Structure 1
Amino acid sequence: MAREMFRCLTTTVTVPGVADLRPLRQARNTTLTAVAQHFGVWPTTISRLERGLSRDDDLAHAYRDWIQTA
């Protein structure tokens, strides 16, 4: 257990970037509200995710996949 804890504390974890989400959405003329409705979250959630103020890797991946195919 202690070895696993040490590994978790000392291993560098890469945080997926989200800087592409807002430009992708804007390039497709999609509103924050439309994205939020699609994923069942508040527009504020999408805005904070796009600006890097909150982190939700699953939502970010789903959002990226969705907006690229929209």
Structure 2
Amino acid sequence: MRRGRGDLKEIGWLANSAFGMVFVWFLMVGCAGDAPKPLPQTTPQQTRSDSDRFFEKMKQEERERTKAQEAPMP
């Protein structure tokens, strides 16, 4: 069965309409969600603790680097 050009235009129009409806639906659903929650604020104690751990790790790495440089090479 051959289709005429009118049939193809109708199929194209239906496909475009379906695509448009799906696109609008995605826009509505995507915008209907809750706003993202703000990140929790870090306390000064947490900041101090994190910086102390970082500083201790740096000191340990420096000690290891110094030991590696002092070790005699074979």
TM-score by length of 2: 0.28
Which has the larger share of helix? 2
Higher relative contact order (CA 8 A, sep 6+): 1
Larger Rg: 2
